[in-house]
Amino acid sequence: MSEPGKHTGPAGPTRAPVIQPGHTFGSVTDRISSVVLSERMPRLWWLGLGVGFLLVTVLLVAVTHLFMKGTGIWGVNVPVGWGFAIICFVWWVGIGHAGTLISAILLLLNQDWRTSINRFAEAMTLFAVACAGLYPILHLGRPWLAYWLFPYPNTMGMWPQFRSPLIWDVFAVSTYASVSAMFWYVGLIPDLATLRDRSPSRAGRVIYGMLAMGWRGSARHWHRYETAYLLLAALAAPLVVSVHTVVSFDFAVSVVPGWHATIFPPYFVAGAIFSGFAMVLTLAIPLRVMFGLEDFVTMRHLDNMARVMLATGLVVAYGYMTETFMAWYSANPFETYMIMNRFGGPYSVAYWSLIFCNVLMPQLLWFRRVRANVPLLFVISIVVNIGMWLERYVIVVTSLHRDFLPSSWGMYSGTIWDWATFAGTIGLFLSLLFLFIRFLPMISIFEMRTLVPEAEVREESP
């Protein structure tokens, strides 16, 4: 193994470090790759995968029943035609956004603390988008014709309606899924080579070897690799903003009170980042304990993520305020009624719960002691996740259930199948995440090596 770490780097940062001192290239490689290469996984991993897999079977049952009976098994009906499917779609897409934000935007801003969380945040993006992508397809009624959404020459002689936000959504989400997958895979290539070279089994060497595509760390390769990685980050950064903007257009381009608002795109993007960071915290806090990775995911990371949550939470709160203000300032009776109905109507419990979860609870993050309290941070992150789900519930249901004509008013609630599908996608997400942790390095090994003090080339050459 290599020599003990030589501390020749600059004086330590004033805040908690992004990597605990004393690590060398070898110890970073060992610690992260050992999670993948070890024979045994901790009991909690089996528990997590077990729960996830159980819920996947619930999803399979729910989807099978849906395919047999149709969308009538869900709670959607006139006037609320967009129920859980759209609520959960927006929720999952939003969760995915923190992964891209951490990996792309923080890379462009040269934030070295992103390094130990970007890999699993990107994985989280992919799995969240996979869960999100299921919903619109399941909601189609005839999901086996989902390919009709794509423009291809067909015997019907028809093309998609490109002026519809729903088609924009197809392009935005599929582009987002593709670019996220490519970004994630490109980031993995050098680490796959590390696993190829360290795997004790022949199967591991062959499989990781094929995935690594013959990567050997050549300086010429690294040069183009870094260019490609930066360009991908620069492309992904505006993409992530555009995706949730297009998702908000699904609402904002309509004329329904409570949806037809120009604040929607920025408010949705901020909400997406808010919920995404909450989900990263929800996942990172147990994982760092489960696999003993506190050296790499330090208090500095948790503190920074809490700050981003606080900042985006305030933008979301501003969005709620603007909605209320515009309802009054527009002097439009339908807008005014919509907001009064949210405050005091049949769904007011959901509205005030979301205000508690998304506006009041995050205010605790102003205090340094709260940001340093890991269990409390975990609780706040879960509360925010629930709050963001409620936000989409309120937006979708309160606006639709009482629109312009009282004769068409109605009530909506999810059925057991709505809940089963939602629980099932959570299971799908958990299963994919735990399998990812088992088979791929959850922290970028090569990027962590750059944080080791020895990694800098010293001026005086020997």
Least distance (Å) between residue 4 CB and other proteins? 12
Least distance (Å) between residue 419 CB and other proteins? 33
One-letter amino acid at 55 equals: L
As a whole number of angstroms, the distance between CA 401 and CA 36 comes to 49
Residue 306 interacts with other proteins (CB under 8 A): yes or no: no
Least distance (Å) between residue 416 CB and other proteins? 37
Q: Binding string, 173-192, against other proteins, x = CB under 8 A?
A: --x--xx--xx-xx---x--
Site for other proteins in 389-448 (CB under 8 A): 446-447
- In this structure, are residues 19 and 116 in contact, taking their beta carbons and an 8 Å threshold? yes
Among 325, 394, 310, smallest CA distance to 358 is for 310
Residue 202 interacts with other proteins (CB under 8 A): yes or no: no
Residue reference for tokens 């309606």: 161
Residue 292 interacts with other proteins (CB under 8 A): yes or no: no
Of 88, 236, 297, 442, the one binding other proteins (CB under 8 A) is: 236
Site for other proteins in 22-81 (CB under 8 A): 24-26, 29
Stretch that binds other proteins, among 10-18, 342-350, 406-414, 453-461 (CB under 8 A): 453-461
Least distance (Å) between residue 159 CB and other proteins? 4
Phi/psi-derived region of residue 120, left when phi > 0, alpha when psi is between -120 and 50, beta in every other case: alpha
Hey, is 107 helix, strand or coil?
Answer: helix
- Could you tell me how many residues of this chain bind other proteins (CB under 8 A)? 70
Residue 152 interacts with other proteins (CB under 8 A): yes or no: no
Nearer to other proteins, 74 or 215 (CB): 215
Among 402, 240, 387, 406, smallest CA distance to 319 is for 387
Least distance (Å) between residue 160 CB and other proteins? 8
Among 447, 361, 425, 395, smallest CA distance to 96 is for 425
Give Cβ neighbours of residue 161 (< 8 Å, ≥ 6 apart). Answer: 167
- In this structure, are residues 412 and 121 in contact, taking their beta carbons and an 8 Å threshold? no
Of 40, 43, 202, 220, the one binding other proteins (CB under 8 A) is: 220
Residue 213 interacts with other proteins (CB under 8 A): yes or no: yes
Residue 201 interacts with other proteins (CB under 8 A): yes or no: no
Residue 264 interacts with other proteins (CB under 8 A): yes or no: no
Among 254, 269, 305, smallest CA distance to 114 is for 305
User: Is the torsion defined by CA of 265, 270, 274, 277 positive or negative?
Assistant: positive
As a whole number of angstroms, the distance between CA 211 and CA 443 comes to 17
Stretch that binds other proteins, among 58-66, 78-86, 158-166, 354-362 (CB under 8 A): 158-166
Q: Which H/E stretch holds residue 456?
A: none
Nearer to other proteins, 177 or 293 (CB): 177
Among 257, 293, 247, smallest CA distance to 448 is for 293
- In this structure, are residues 83 and 414 in contact, taking their beta carbons and an 8 Å threshold? yes
Of 45, 53, 148, 222, the one binding other proteins (CB under 8 A) is: 222
- In this structure, are residues 364 and 384 in contact, taking their beta carbons and an 8 Å threshold? no
Residue 206 interacts with other proteins (CB under 8 A): yes or no: no
Least distance (Å) between residue 264 CB and other proteins? 14
**Bridge partners (DSSP) listed for residue 77:** 80
Q: Which residues bind other proteins (CB under 8 A)?
A: 1-3, 24-26, 29, 151, 157-163, 165, 167-168, 171-172, 175, 178-179, 182-183, 185-186, 190, 193-194, 196-198, 210, 213-228, 231-232, 235-236, 238-239, 242, 246, 249, 446-447, 449-450, 454-458, 461-462
